[in-house]
Structure 1
Amino acid sequence: MTAERQWPVAIMPIVFVLLWSTGFIGARYGLPYAEPFTFLVIRFALTLVLLVPLVWLMRGSWPNNRSLWGHAAVSGCLVHGIYLSGVFYAIDLGMPAGLGALLVGLQPLVTAILAGPLLGERLSTLQWGGLLLGLVGIGLVLGGKLDPASLQFEGFGWSALACIGAALVGISCGTLYQKRYCTGMPLLGGTVIQYLGALALTGLGSLALEQRQIEWNSTFILTLAWLVLVLSIAAILLLMALIKRGAASRVASLFYLVPPVTALEAWWLFDEQLPMLSLVGMAIAIAGVVLVVRGRKP
């Protein structure tokens, strides 16, 4: 392969992570005009309208048994439904997008802790060191936003932190569940079923907890179009291309950059400020995540 043909393949993982980081930015743009569950219902429904025909056009396969369909739906409720609902509600409650990206980016730490009792995996010495670094980093990040006198965070409350915690548990449990029960799931067809599960969950949440009022304007429509076309469709197709070329490991490594990239985007677009203590904590937490992932035993 010539150099001219190699460079687009080389930058594909970077493009994927850059696109992925905008999901938190999209939430900031769209949430003033729709409630979180309602916003996600519309997003998932439109994604399915576009994704189902793509399975046929690309001659994608579907899970080959009823049990795998059920497992894919459950993993979708966890990975997409609970995760995105928690993120959207946290941002709706005032949590900065960069901070939210960092906290859910701790997923490898939580997954490593849960993998012991659930999958029988033991942590290496390097992973224990990474967990300790991650905890120290998060303490610094949150400490930089906490007012010691009132024990309140700057710009958001403990409810937002609880929501992002639910998102973190959802993505971590969903990752382990998918690893255990969905190893034979085809990516494109399985993603459709996952979105169906997430749509059912967020639909129930919207009906039970929200007024389902939407302010249709250009900002909301453009944000929705970006989240559906770029995040839910283009990013999935790009991930499929990366997996086909064996570059999925490079994407996993570049995911460490999502929190700082999101923080930079949020600073540029919304003037979100993180104090120096929080920025130092972010760097330490990301280093902890790297150690946990790199220290995984083969």
Structure 2
Amino acid sequence: MNLLDRIAPPLFIFIWATGYLVAKLAAPYADPLTFLSWRYAGVVALMLGLALAARAAWPSRRDMLHLAVAGIGIQALYLAGVWVSIRQGLPAGTAALIVNLQPVLVAALAPMVGERVTPRQWLGVGFGLAGVVLVIWHKLTLGASFGLPLLLCLMALLGITAGTLYQKRFVPHFDLRTGQVVQFAASLAVTLPLAWWLEPMRIEWNASVLVAMAWSILVLTAGGISLMFYMLRHGRVTAVSSTMYLVPSVTSVMAWLMFGETLGAQAIAGMGVTLLGVYLVVGQRTPETAS
């Protein structure tokens, strides 16, 4: 195992966890789909420049189509669903709990990409979900009726799950620079018309929005998404998805440090349970293909 294989999971978790903080920073000043459209355009420009400078290989037309489909799920549907649902009033804790059902769905559907999930891994998936519930329990508001925001968050869950499995099945290997040009161009083509149709496209270019945009493009996308794709290429989709169970715990610690949010004994206990669940999933070598 090389150094990148070792550091990719914890680095990915840290980067992905900052996404909730970035959303909190930008939300008062930018419409969500408008912000995401600018973000996607920035990623396309950045990755296109890197690809051209390095003369990176472009995928075939067939692989471009597969990358576009996967990218719409992983980026456009997932990010739009989470950002808009929270803007529409769905509590962030509830959104996080719904999205963190992803490892359960991925484990259930793993045979579609040739992976077998062992009983030990299923136990880990269960522990991971229980830990997430403990971490964010005090932030949940499950009794109210949220209608459209809840459906949007479910769309986000299905989008990232389907996109992850689709990419693992049809185009697991591609240049990260040219591949992300294709994926984010496709996401922009979906998101920008929706922003024009549904929003006044308000964005205030103040310091908070500029920091959030720069972090979203350079760190969350260029760093976080690239690491996720690298792990999918070199690992099992069930194990990669299960690392996302750790995101709410890391986010809670960051919010405690940066914004003074409460971090009680129940949340700390939940972090321990989550760590145990992820260890059960990723800490055992299993066959790469279904028997």
> Shorter-chain TM-score category?
0.7 to 0.9
CA positional deviation for 1:171: 1.2
Q: Please, which of 35, 45, 48 is the counterpart of residue 49 of structure 1? A: 45
Give the TM-score of the pair, scaled to structure 1.
Answer: 0.77
Q: Does 1:109 align with 2:104?
A: yes
| Deviation of the 1:99 alpha carbon | 6.6
* Structural mapping, 1:50-89, within 5 Å: 50-64=46-60, 66-89=61-84
Is residue 2:126 matched to residue 1:132?
Answer: yes
Correspondence 1:175 to 2:164: yes
Check whether the contact 1:12–1:238 (CA below 8 A) recurs between aligned residues: yes
Alignment equivalent of 1:262, drawn from 251, 269, 276: 251
2:187 alignment partner, SS class: helix
2:18 maps to 1:22: yes
Checking the alignment, whether the CA contact within 8 Å between 1:106 and 1:289 is kept in structure 2 is: no
Structure 1 residue 197, shift from structure 2 partner: 1.3
Q: Does 1:36 align with 2:15?
A: no
Amino acid paired to 1:133:
F
- Cross-structure match for 2:197: 208
Question: 2:56 aligns to what SS in structure 1?
Answer: coil
TM-score, with normalisation over the residues of structure 2? 0.78
**Secondary structure, in 3 states, of the residue corresponding to 2:123?**
helix
- Greater Cα shift, 84-93 or 165-174: 84-93
Task: State, as a whole percentage, how many aligned pairs show the same letter.
Answer: 38
Provide, for residues 7-51 of structure 1, a one-character-per-residue CA deviation record: whole Å limited to 9, x for no partner.
999767644543332222111111111111111001101121121
The alpha-carbon deviation at position 107 of structure 1 amounts to 2.6
Between the two proteins, the alignment pairs up a number of residues equal to 284
CA shift in 2, pair 1:287/1:104, >3 Å: farther
Q: Distance in 2 between matches of 1:50 and 1:228?
A: 8
Counterpart AA for 1:202: T
2:86 matched to 1:91? Answer: yes
- Matched residue, 1:199: 188
Distance across 2 between alignment mates of 1:271 and 1:101: 19
Provide closer, same or farther for how the CA distance between residues 93 and 267 of structure 1 changes in structure 2, counting only shifts above 3 A.
Answer: farther
Q: Aligned partners of 2:124, 2:175: CA distance in 1, in Å?
A: 32
Alignment partner, residue 3 of structure 1: none
Q: Match for 1:37: what amino acid?
A: L
Worse overlay, 256-265 or 213-222 = 256-265
Q: C-alpha deviations, 1:221-255, integer Å up to 9, x for none?
A: 221122112222355677799999x8999x95865
Q: CA deviation at 1:177?
A: 0.2
* Alignment match of 2:221 (pick from 205, 213, 232): 232
Is the CA contact (8 Å cut-off) linking 2:172 and 2:232 kept in structure 1?
no
Cα distance between partner residues in 2 of 1:25 and 1:134: 22
Please, what is the CA RMSD of the aligned residues? 3.8
Q: Deviations over 1:60-110 (max 9, x none)?
A: 11102x111111001010011111112212433456667755653443222
- SS in structure 2 of the partner of residue 152 of structure 1: coil
CA distance in 1, matches of 2:164, 2:231: 19
What is the distance in 1 between the residues matched to 2:41 and 2:16?
A: 20
Distance 1:199 1:29 in 2: 22
Unaligned residue ranges in structure 1 (runs of 5+)? 1-5
**Residue pair 2:128, 2:276 contacting (<8 A) in 1 also:** yes
1:212 is paired with a residue whose SS is coil
Change (3 A) 1:287 1:208: farther
Deviation at 1:182, TM superposition (A): 0.9
Please report how far the alpha carbon of residue 172 of structure 1 lies from its aligned counterpart in structure 2 after TM superposition: 1.1
